[in-house]
Amino acid sequence: MSPSTNSFGAQDTLTVGGESYEIYRLDKVEGSKTLPFSLKVLLECLLRTEDGANITKEHINALGQWDETAQPSTEIQFTPARVIMQDFTGVPCVVDLATMREAVADLGGDAKKINPLAPAEMVIDHSVIIDVFGRPDAFEKNVEIEYGRNKERYQFLRWGQTAFDDFKVVPPGTGIVHQVNIEHLARSVMTRDGVAYPDSCVGTDSHTTMVNGLGVLGWGVGGIEAEAAMLGQPVSMLIPRVVGFKLTGEIPSGATATDVVLTITQMLREHGVVGKFVEFYGDGVASVPLANRATIGNMSPEFGSTCAIFPIDDVTLDYLRLTGRTEEHVALVEAYAKEQGLWHDPSVEPRFSEKLELDLSTVVPSIAGPKRPQDRIVLADAKQKFGLDVKNYGVEGDFREAEVTPAEGPAYGLKDGAVVIASITSCTNTSNPSVMMAAALLAKNAVEKGLTVAPWVKTSMAPGSQVVTGYYEKAGMWPYLEKLGFYLVGYGCTTCIGNSGPLNEEISQAVQENDLTVVSVLSGNRNFEGRINPDVKMNYLASPPLVIAYALAGTMNFDFDTDALGTDQQGNDVFLKDIWPTPDEVESTIASSIDRDMFIKDYADVFAGDERWQSLPTPEGDTFEWDGESTYVRKPPYFDGMAKQPSPVEDITGARVLAKLGDSVTTDHISPAGSIKADSPAGKYLSEHGVERKDFNSYGSRRGNHEVMVRGTFANIRLRNQLLDGVEGGFTRDFTQDGEQSTIFDAAENYAKAGTPLVVLGGKEYGSGSSRDWAAKGTRLLGVKAVIVESFERIHRSNLIGMGVLPLQFPQGQNVESLGLDGTETFDITGITALNEGGDVPETVHVTATKADGAKVEFDAVVRIDTPGEADYYRNDGILQYVLRSLVN
């Protein structure tokens, strides 16, 4: 860590338990005392990394004297303390680092210069798919299949673990990245080279914000930005607006942490917090358990904020103790937080840009769906609302029914509205003992009443860490969960990421042949269209106990207040209220079944892995030996023919529209995700390379192969490209072929051969959802030079710049419709050349869209390169090229 220029004289010493640490005192900066907690963390970072060039005295004063009412305009450089990754987004990071090692050598530099400069940790959690469920060997079988499918990737990651310094891998079958982060990897206060400073992180997954619950400032970035952070590049950002969210009261009996989160999600989406920090404060904070804080922080991407943070207090310290952190470390966290004014004092109200308030006692049981996390539905209204929403999926009048004849057991009728997936899954809730134990106790009560789950429900239990299994065992809960089909299927993201696995064949067939509208219910954070399972049109987020309740109901067309779940042994109707556990019952069971030793035992050897991991043959050497036959890991083309100096920025001429899209197009729509269809460009590529259909695996698992990924970009089965009428999926009109319908990939190939650049047109909230780097990488590799939309979500906009794609917005109040654009035009974009010779970013560029008859539509598009740092990346044709040149030149 290079020493700070320390122009504020902030360098000092803090002694805790006989150990002395160098610290940078916040109280040396005027105005720091009344800053929100999150900005204090940023301020400390600037004090510690002040170098007089990228981080100056002026930057530090701008943060100390932050004007909470102003619109963000001051750029700062934030250097996160560490980087955390999951394997889907992390594999391409390591692929790019491996490629950069070769590129540095090609430019005459030292390959070993490419090394993480900040601690980097990866948790392999996204690769397990629920192929096997509802039986005792489900976990073993799924892990076995996972290793079979992913051997090449895992060998590559083992190479990375040995080749790169300060890079650690948590092997498969351990837990979900965000849960492992809060339970083990997070430090709250970091120490390095004798310096103590606040823990902070960026992660290659949007739900990195879960760690905000521990007072750790962090958020999701694209893999592109994460690589740069690993290589010591700061994250360029504007000092944000901070929304203070005051909590009062306590959660009522019958409501859960999940209900609180869905309520907060709806409130903040309605308020509008994209690009802002959200920070919780007030008397109610002390009554929010750490696990609930983490659940709230986790959902930050669903409200659209950059982070959703809780300050440090006694609740934080108690959780650090419970999860096995040493007493010495807990003492340091307490002393440091109190010394630096980072300790929560409910009597002091920091300066906030905007304020909201929630009385927790007003929260009621809720679910969200059928396709967005912010669309909250009060549970009491769920049946009625479902009856209305299902009409949007082509169900008019009575629900249709199809006869299903399973391999085992009697035939049954499958109706519209049937719950075919009920999954307790995802870091959001499986890290929270209160909702997990509530689910287990509900299962126990249901079994004791003689209730059963319908045969069409695919049930699964995928906890985020092995600790959950430990406390279920100690509390004697597994037999009840298993009786209802909720067997352990894996420790990983599973259903929430789209790894729900196939439905039983006879169910899938009945759904497809009759075009039934069936439903999934999951305890996750994402329910976008086409994400959970290709056979399932409507997806609902719910707390773990409600997942079990819906599994028992077997249908969404159900009112828990008036409809019985079944009958008990005496023939009496059983309602949800009869089996819902009381808060006291949940808390006393947790108290008697969770202890510190469980965490210490489960995390003692967390990087070692099981026999499968340890017996993988591992390649050696500073550079990776690429296998030309691999369909998983290939050397990407980003640095091919790269010169030491960047070429000048050029205007865009004669561009064609690859896709014309509507509002709320998510990174799920853009980035390859889920299963690979046999007749898709990616499926054909794999078949041509000798891969059998059963071994296609998911797009996520093949993120290390750009050939697969570019073929899956914009290929989501629910994408609606408005260049075509009534067609869903990855299709477009190819104007090199007289406007014929074609796949997006094949059209892009034809445009590339013709030397035609491409643009994408879109609406509001373009690129919302996960921080998928492939949404930007795939866009770039398809030949797209600019994306013109009404508004962007934060992460995707910066990722486009990181890949050398120009993000533009229509003039305020204008859009595709108002300008009369239909996507058949040819586009010329002029004025971006102002960036050459180190020029400033132009506010607008001039766009001329020429129609087939020669008529022209002209407008000035707003350039969304928001900071000087982003301008440097764009000039270099991408962030990685910028980093490479800075290491070599």
pLDDT tens digits along 491-522 = 988 888 888 999 999 999 999 999 999 999 99
Provide the strand spans (E) within 436-515: 458-461
DSSP letter, residue 284: G
Mean pLDDT across the stretch 543-549?
97
CATH topology of domain 240-361: Aconitase; Domain 2 (3.40.1060)
- Distance from C-alpha of 54 to C-alpha of 230, rounded to nearest angstrom: 18
What homologous superfamily does CATH list for 652-888?
Answer: Aconitase, domain 4 (3.20.19.10)
Residue linked to tokens 């290939």: 634
621-640 burial, b for 16+ CB within 10 Å, e for fewer? eebbeeeeeebbbbbbebbe
CA distance 154 to 707: 19
Q: How many CB atoms lie within 10 A of CB 486?
A: 28
**Torsional class of 397: left (φ above 0), alpha (ψ -120 to 50), beta (otherwise):** left
Residue 112 has pLDDT above 90, yes or no: no
CA distance 305 to 298: 11
Q: Which of 491, 468, 464 is nearest to 481 (CA)?
A: 468
Helix axes 257-271, 433-448, angle to 10 degrees: 130
- Supply 646's token pair: 């960047």
* pLDDT(432) > 70: yes
Average pLDDT over residues 255-270: 93
The predicted pLDDT at position 222 comes to 80
**Structure confidence at residue 771 (pLDDT):** 62
Backbone angles phi and psi of 863, in degrees to 5? -85, 120
Domain boundaries, given as residue ranges, for the chain: 11-66, 240-361, 366-594, 652-888
Q: CA 242, CA 239: separation in Å to the nearest integer? A: 9
- pLDDT, position 1: 58
DSSP string spanning 672-720? --SBPPTTSHHHHHHHHTT--GGG--BTGGGTT-HHHHHHHTT--TT-B
Q: Which of 34-38, 55-59, 91-95, 803-807 has the lowest mean pLDDT?
A: 91-95
Structural contact between residues 494 and 394, judged by C-beta atoms closer than 8 angstroms: no
Mean pLDDT of 833-858: 95
pLDDT digits (tens, 9 = 90+) for 593-625: 999 999 999 999 999 888 999 999 888 888 898
The mean pLDDT of 374-390, rounded to a whole number, is 95
Length of the chain: 889
Please, what is the average pLDDT of the chain?
93
Quick check: 134 pLDDT over 90? yes
User: Looking at residue 795, what is its pLDDT?
Assistant: 75
In this prediction, residue 793 has a pLDDT band, given cuts at 50, 70 and 90, of confident
pLDDT of 628 over the 80 cut? yes
pLDDT band at 87 (very low <50, low <70, confident <90, very high): confident
The Cα 187–Cα 623 span in angstroms is 32
Q: How far apart are CA 506 and CA 511, in angstroms?
A: 9
Cross-strand bridge partners of residue 169? 122
pTM: 0.84
What pLDDT, on a 0 to 100 scale, did the predictor assign at position 821?
Answer: 97
Residue 879 is inside which H or E element, if any?
helix 879-888
Q: Per-residue pLDDT averaged across 51-56, rounded?
A: 87
Residues above pLDDT 90, as percent of the chain: 77
Asked if pLDDT for residue 546 goes beyond 80, the answer is yes
User: Radius of gyration of the chain from Cα atoms?
Assistant: 27
For the chain, percent of residues with pLDDT exceeding 70: 100
Distance (Å, rounded) from C-alpha 779 to C-alpha 761?
Answer: 12
Burial class of 191 by CB neighbour count within 10 A (0 to 12, 13 to 18, 19+): middle
Please tell us whether the domain made up of 366-594 is placed in CATH 1.20.58.220.
no
Identify the three-state secondary structure at position 642: coil
At 198, is the pLDDT very low, low, confident or very high (cuts 50, 70, 90)?
very high
User: Is 281 in a helix, a strand, or coil?
Assistant: strand
pLDDT at position 394:
87
pLDDT at 191 over 90: yes
